[in-house]
Amino acid sequence: MATSSLISSGASLFFNKISQKDAGVSPAQVITTSIQQKKILSVMAPQTSERKPSTTGSVKTGMTMTEKIFARASEKSKVSPGENVWVNVDVLMTHDVCGPGAIGVFKKEFGDNAKVWDSEKVVLIPDHYIFTSDERANRNVDILRDFANEQNIKYFYDITDRGNFKANPDYKGVCHIALAQEGHCRPGEVLVGTDSHTCTAGAFGQFATGIGNTDAGFALGTGKLLLKVPPTLRFVLDGEMPDYLLAKDLILQIIGEISVSGATYKAMEFVGSTVESLSMEERMTLCNMVVEAGGKNGIIQADATTFKYLEDKTSVPFEPVYSDTQARYVAEYRIDVTKLEPLVAKPHSPDNRGLARECKDVKLDRVYIGSCTGGKTEDFLAAAKVLLASDDKVKVPTFIVPATQKVWMDLYTVPVPGSGGKTCSQIFERAGCEPPNSPSCGACVGGPLDIYARMNEPQVCLSTTNRNFPGRMGNKEGQIYLASPYTAAASALTGLVTDPREFMH
Ligand SMILES: CC(C)[C@H](C(=O)O)[C@@H](O)C(=O)O
């Protein structure tokens, strides 16, 4: 059994790990520690089990949701972790950064006149480096457009007027949120995309994962991919969500616990009463960051919340799958969310977990609220809630970048609960935030020099995004603290990393 060590900087660890959760085996509690403890913890890495099918017939094993999706997509009655299977792809997404490369592979391998396997299953979403004068970046969008026309691609969310994104009815914005809003995230299906955060769509009970350009080029031609069935880790999150926490805190807790390699090539299945109570957008935040722990996919079973969200989004029939009670997991983690506190991931790794309140001496130069992780409508409503609780103005430049056109509209139209009908945009303006800017991934991932809110100086930024690697938002010497929109808004008001409870009474 492998063992890995993990440094906990005093973050609350109400986090019990139970290994080898198999049917009939009583789980043993491996770790329990409390919030007061500050020490280096040794955390057992997930145990890998020999997952051979039963030969005696006396032990029944079931399948996890991820395994069931693999089985259906590979037209098999049963699959097991570690097995390589040819999977039929339901949706293939690519964007302006990787699309040209994937198209290049497709043309090279299948021929200049080849046709994609299904022009209704390919989704092209320009979203990364859109609002820039960088010629190469703009050429990438042109390549997507030419390909969409040539292949008669049904779902191409084009942008032609970069000066005024609102003048582009087809332009959506950040792909992972656009995919959900446009009805491409459907339970039981396989969604692959040339972006590591494609795992966001696991929130819908879909198998969703990021792939490279070579795989995407192959899938464009065949609609198939050879994939290894991942073993599943099970995360049981129970308890009523404290009103100062958001899903971002939950996933930072988990990544801090298992480390950035703790789920390498594993499915991360989220269950429990807390998960059931989360909205779709919050479930998307949870699944969005599984890749920061190395996860192959994140997954949450579809329920009434999912079906309600999908009601007006798709007419495509879908078939949800559910994990069997006798499904086998390589490890199970239990989290009592009522014991958690607002968290940050300190520079320069998403697993460098710290309590927000323990970082209160960290001076900030800026705050960024945006991206697939933290730029959804509910993320802005959460930030607005904290800003509303104070008459103060923000102390540092606070950038507002909605993930999509739809989120942009919501900022100007959806009333913030408890505000007497004010919208997020009104609250942000009163608090002195920068005016909301065009939806894109640009600043989250650095991008060309003229990208809005790119970190061009060696500054300290608190951000609702998903990665804080050196250079991530532009400057190599910059420091990024990842946090929830509550913590972002509280920190904007003080200019220091701030626990949102200071403003939430
Ligand atoms: C540009 C793209 C390939 C990249 C990814 O795969 O995730 C980006 O979206 C990111 O968030 O780092």
Reference 203, options 230, 224, 226, 184; nearest CA is 184
Ligand 1: does its nearest atom lie under 6 Å from the Cβ of 372?
no
Edge-to-edge strands, sheet with 122-125: 155-156, 122-125, 91-95, 190-193, 207-210
Looking at residue 61, its pLDDT comes to 83
Residues 192 and 307 in one domain: yes
Residues 281 and 403 in one domain: no
Q: Which of 129, 445, 469, when mutated, tests ligand 1's pocket best, judged by the most ligand atoms within 8 Å of its CB?
A: 445
Looking at residue 247, its pLDDT comes to 99
Answer whether residue 58 is part of any domain: no
Residues 389 and 331 in one domain: no
Ligand 1: does its nearest atom lie under 6 Å from the Cβ of 128?
yes
Q: Whose CA is nearest to atom 10 of ligand 1?
A: 445
* Pairing between β-strand 267-271 and β-strand 297-299 as defined by DSSP bridges: parallel
Q: Whose CA is nearest to atom 4 of ligand 1?
A: 195
Please give the average per-residue pLDDT across 160-165, as a whole number.
94
Ligand 1: does its nearest atom lie under 6 Å from the Cβ of 350?
no
Looking at residue 17, its pLDDT comes to 58
286-307 per-position pLDDT tens digit: 999 999 999 999 999 999 999 9
Q: Which of 97, 196, 260, 480, when mutated, tests ligand 1's pocket best, judged by the most ligand atoms within 8 Å of its CB?
A: 196
Answer whether residue 48 is part of any domain: no
Answer whether residue 262 is part of any domain: yes
Residues 383 and 333 in one domain: no
Q: Whose CA is nearest to atom 7 of ligand 1?
A: 196
Q: Which of 197, 289, 368, 373, when mutated, tests ligand 1's pocket best, judged by the most ligand atoms within 8 Å of its CB?
A: 197
Answer whether residue 43 is part of any domain: no
Lowest mean pLDDT among 4-18, 194-208, 417-431, 443-457: 4-18
57-110 per-position pLDDT tens digit: 555 689 999 999 999 999 999 999 999 999 999 999 999 999 999 999 999 999
Max avg pLDDT among 11-15, 50-54, 313-317: 313-317
Residues 167 and 255 in one domain: yes
* Confidence band for 366, pLDDT divided at 50, 70 and 90: very high
Answer whether residue 287 is part of any domain: yes
Residues 234 and 290 in one domain: yes
* Confidence band for 26, pLDDT divided at 50, 70 and 90: very low
Ligand 1: does its nearest atom lie under 6 Å from the Cβ of 212?
no
pLDDT above 70 as % of the chain:
88
Structural domain containing residue 16: 3-36
Residues 12 and 143 in one domain: no
Residues 332 and 349 in one domain: no
Q: Indicate the average pLDDT of the chain.
A: 91
Q: Domain with 349 in it: what CATH number?
A: 3.30.499.10
Q: Is the dihedral of CA 458, 464, 465, 469 positive or negative?
A: positive
Q: Whose CA is nearest to atom 3 of ligand 1?
A: 195
Answer whether residue 46 is part of any domain: no
3-class secondary-structure state, position 54: coil
Q: 45, 262 in Cβ contact below 8 A?
A: yes
Ligand 1 centroid distance, CA of 216 (Å): 15
Answer whether residue 55 is part of any domain: no
Q: Which of 175, 195, 482, when mutated, tests ligand 1's pocket best, judged by the most ligand atoms within 8 Å of its CB?
A: 195
Tell me how far apart the terminal alpha carbons of the chain are, to the nearest angstrom: 46
Give the pair of three-digit tokens for residue 86. 């040819």
Edge-to-edge strands, sheet with 343-345: 353-355, 343-345, 479-483, 460-463, 366-370, 398-401
Pick 411 or 32 by higher pLDDT. 411
Pick 14 or 233 by higher pLDDT. 233
Distances (CA, A) of 306 to 134, 291, 450: 39, 22, 38
Residues 288 and 332 in one domain: yes
Task: Report which DSSP code applies to 444.
Answer: G
- Between CA 219 and CA 93 the distance in angstroms is 11
Looking at residue 2, its pLDDT comes to 34
Question: Is residue 376 pLDDT above 80, yes or no?
Answer: yes
Looking at residue 45, its pLDDT comes to 34
ipTM surpasses cut 0.85: yes
Answer whether residue 42 is part of any domain: no
- Between CA 316 and CA 398 the distance in angstroms is 40
Q: Which of ligand 1's atoms lies nearest the C-alpha of 291?
A: 7
Looking at residue 505, its pLDDT comes to 74
Residue ending a domain, choose from 315, 337, 359 = 337
Residues 12 and 114 in one domain: no
Residues 287 and 349 in one domain: no
Structural domain tally of the chain?
A: 3
Residue ending a domain, choose from 290, 308, 337 = 337
Residues 131 and 274 in one domain: yes
Looking at residue 40, its pLDDT comes to 24
Ligand 1 centroid distance, CA of 444 (Å): 9
| Paired strand residues for 461 | 366, 480
* Confidence band for 463, pLDDT divided at 50, 70 and 90: very high
Query: The whole model's pTM is what?
Result: 0.91
Ligand 1 centroid distance, CA of 41 (Å): 31
Residue ending a domain, choose from 304, 337, 370 = 337
257-277 per-position pLDDT tens digit: 999 999 999 999 999 999 999
Ligand 1 centroid distance, CA of 350 (Å): 15
Strands (E), 211-319: 224-228, 232-238, 267-271, 297-299
Ligand 1 centroid distance, CA of 137 (Å): 15
